[in-house]
Chain A
Amino acid sequence: MKTTGWNLKRNVTFQLFVLPALIGYLIFYIYPLVQTFIYSFTNYSLYHLDMEWIGIDNYTRLFKDDSVIIGIKNTVIYALLITLLQNGLAIPLAIALNRPLKSRNGLRLVFFAPAVLSPLVVGFLWSYLMSSTDYGLINQALRAIGLNDVNWLGNPKLALYSILLTQVWQWTGYAMVIYLANLQGISKDYYEAASIDGAKAWTVFRQITLPLLLPSISFNTVMGMIGGLKVFDVIFAMTGGGPGHSTETIVMTLINKGITESQFGYGSSFAVVFSLLIMIVAFIQLKVLKKWEERLF
């Protein structure tokens, strides 16, 4: 295409507008990314400020480290469950609140409101609600109906799921809003046609609503997985990774090794492996969802 003088001037202007963001991206993303990758092959720490190249030693050590195995296990369990639960609850919630209810605006607000709170605040709040002391409101409620206290955050087998519960509470409303927006974009003609054909509710949901919700399902599940894999703040607030190491995640382990113990090179190898893990998970998810989309249409 022949570039006219006016087109050229516009292109240069657009690219100049992009330049500050590009510079920021290079300084705050690309530069640290490359530097981290390089550090991961060194023994860089507060004891070795003049770092030396050690090849893949950090990586081989990482996969033999018990705390890493625990961190990966906890992170994968957490990320899978939060994605499933959050979206499994958000879809029916969105469908219900898409109906012409009188109170729907109020209900939408109620379900969305927790999402505007800081995860740290939510964590501290719930850690008091779930406290094992007499002040713990949840156990007080359980006692009032004749049930025994539950050691929500002190039982190593239960603590991670207790934290998961609070996050489902906090973020289901957020996913619901995305689904609502998608639902409102679905043409009513489909439902009218289904109604004429005598289709039952479940058939309508399976054949019409669910396929047309795929764009938001893709978005919410990918974002849910990424958010779940990166979780740190709420766990820090509620259990600090305890009891013991039972709720430590990859990010917590990375911070413990890389910052608390000042093993910067070793911590960098964590960051590299973790980034690759997220990229692989996101890639697989998108591929699977795309295939599903193609099959349905």
Chain B
Amino acid sequence: MKKALRVVASLLLCSAILSACGGNGNNTGSESPAPTNNSASNNTEEATVKIIGFNKEETRKSYLELLRQQFPNYDIQFQFVDNKQFKNVVTTYLASGEGPDIIEGTESSWIAAGYLEDLTNQPFVSRYYDTGIKGFTQNGKVYAIPLQSWFEGIWYNKEIFAQNNLTPPKSFDEWMELHDTLRNAGVKPQAMGAKSWESMMKQSIGVALNDFYSKPEGKDFDGKFGTGEATLSEAWLSAFKKWDETIAKKNLTPDMLGVEYDQALDEFATGKAAMWESGPWAYETLLQKNPNLKLGMFPIPGSAEGSGWLVGGPGSSWSVNKNAKNKDAALKVLDFTSTPEAQAALIKDNFGTSFLEGVDNSGIPEQYADSKAAFDEGHVYVPWGNWGTLAGNDIIMELGKQLQDHLAGVKSIEEVLKNTDKKAEEIRNSMK
């Protein structure tokens, strides 16, 4: 009997080892259902629709309330995951064959692995402008619908500016002088949560949008960078050297590397700093912290005088998990999202412009009035969404971390771009 038990235990051990040697089954999702034409109001089935996003729930509040009214039979669940870990969390979900039904955003690796539903033939896709869909299309297939555009500029404290006779700058040099004026008046010019890899990355790219992308040589760059035909070291160096003046002039200082995004928000909200780079998602939080705060946003200026540029674009998006438990319900939610009513609800808590045809985007809230010229001229762009198979966070995260090293005095701006190019090469090689 003892021998029999030893044999059983040995067999169990061997089978565990041998089963680990087994091949990995292909990831085959279920077939895509026929495009939905049913009105949501006729829907009577019950379902749980899980949405995962990197924008906080309060920035989707009106939209989620509207969804719950529209789909009383659905249990709409929203899960927020910080952007720092969003890709890791969602990739783990998707790789396990599980996960939410609707995902905020797309990653080229998810598309390559077949985790996202092909939405090309869904009727709601044709309701959007091409500019909104383009960033979520790969190899001719559409994998997500755009939510409202997002953008990031420089929030400024109108009262502090008025007290010092300042107005939003029209050029980078004017912006630098503005910093000096504020500093001499005993005001911290700019709050910066440089512990996050995002802030300096976006601000430096903002200058690149002005100085490089607005010129003819910038027009085709992103596609070439995606394929490895062009490098950031050559294309962006001049613009990044210009932006680097803000570090040389100590407008951004190494101690900011120890400051979280939320701490920088607090500094700006409480009037301890006159400017802070962020976007519309922070507006409500700023006013909650300080209801008396008078603020506006101006675009990031460039070397030449002009309307400036906002870092932004076709926002985040809703994609559908190919293995979603309730795919039909998820598609109905996307169908309803593609209506003027739902778009208005999205914009209400997190201002942006809609890519849905027929939506009136002419009203810009007062706090963005200083950015109107940039909006009118279409000066809202983000390069990394157009890097083809390199699209996603990996490279800009590396750029952000390299900029942290630069602010700490460890690396030169040339090394920052060179190392980011190296990262891009590493990712391209891993795809081969």
Contacts and interface: CB of A to CB of B under 8 A. Distances in A.
Contact of A155 (B2, B95, B113, B408): B408
Given A154-B254, A261-B427, A262-B109, A255 B26 contact: no
A152 interface: yes
A132 B255 contact: yes
Contacts of B408: 154-156, 243-244, 246
A294 interface: no
Contact of B402 (A154, A239, A244): A244
B88 to A, nearest CB: 5
Contacts of A153: 195, 257-258
A266 B427 CA distance: 12
A242 B427 contact: no
Given A245-B401, A261-B430, A34 B21 contact: yes
B214 interface: no
A15 B26 CA distance: 38
B405 A244 contact: yes
B205 to A, nearest CB: 18
B211 interface: no
Interface string A252-264: 0001000111110
Interface stretch (A21-29, A167-175, A219-227, A280-288): A21-29
Interface stretch (B9-17, B132-140, B356-364, B377-385): B9-17
B254 A155 contact: yes
A147 to B, nearest CB: 15
Contact of A151 (B114, B255, B394): B255
Interface string A1-36: 001000010011001000000110011001111110
A26 B272 CA distance: 57
Contact of A47 (B263, B264, B405, B431): B431
A233 interface: no
B162 interface: no
Category for how many chain B residues contact A? 35 or more
Contact of B258 (A130, A245, A260, A262): A130
Nearest to B389: A47
Among B109, B112, B257, B427, which residue has the most Cβ atoms of chain A within 10 A? Answer: B257
B430 A242 contact: no
B30 interface: no
A115 B21 CA distance: 40
A293 interface: no
Contacts of A197: none
A12 B1 contact: yes
B87 A260 contact: yes
A243 B91 contact: no
A49 B25 CA distance: 9
A62 B179 CA distance: 45
A286 to B, nearest CB: 26
Most buried by A among B2, B84, B91, B430: B430
A74 interface: no
B180 interface: no
Interface string B126-147: 0000000000000000000000
B88 A255 contact: yes
B197 interface: yes
Interface residues of A, number: 54
Residue among A136, A243, A263 with most chain B CB within 10 A: A243
Interface string B384-401: 000000000010000001
Interface in A122-141: 127-128, 130-136
A240 interface: yes
A31 to B, nearest CB: 5
Given A153-B258, A242-B404, A45 B430 contact: yes
Interface string A44-57: 11110111000000
Contacts of B264: 133
Contacts of A44: 24
Interface in B81-106: 84, 87-88, 91-92, 95
A276 interface: no
A154 B256 CA distance: 7
B256 A240 contact: no
Nearest to B16: A26
Contacts of B92: 259
Given A26-B13, A46-B112, A47-B431, A31 B19 contact: yes
B204 to A, nearest CB: 15
Contacts of B401: 241-245
A11 B5 CA distance: 10
Contacts of A33: 20
Contacts of B40: none
A133 B263 CA distance: 7
Contacts of A134: 267, 272
Contacts of A239: 195
B311 interface: no
Contact of A49 (B1, B27, B254, B263): B27
- Of the candidates B17, B259, B402, B407, the one having the most CB atoms from chain A within 10 angstroms of its own CB is B259
Contacts of A26: 12-13, 16
A31 B14 CA distance: 10
Contact of A154 (B20, B110, B194, B272): B194
Given A49-B27, A50-B26, A154 B259 contact: yes
B403 to A, nearest CB: 8
A54 to B, nearest CB: 11
B134 to A, nearest CB: 22
A131 B16 contact: no
Contacts of B263: 128, 131, 133, 135
B55 to A, nearest CB: 19
A23 B109 contact: no
Interface of A: 3, 8, 11-12, 15, 22-23, 26-27, 30-35, 38, 44-47, 49-51, 127-128, 130-136, 149, 151-156, 239-246, 255, 259-263, 266
11 contacts: A33-B20, A35-B21, A132-B257, A134-B267, A151-B254, A155-B408, A156-B405, A156-B408, A243-B401, A243-B404, A245-B401
Instruction: Report, nearest first, the 6 A-B pairs whose CB atoms are least far apart.
Output: A154-B257, A154-B258, A244-B405, A132-B258, A34-B20, A46-B113
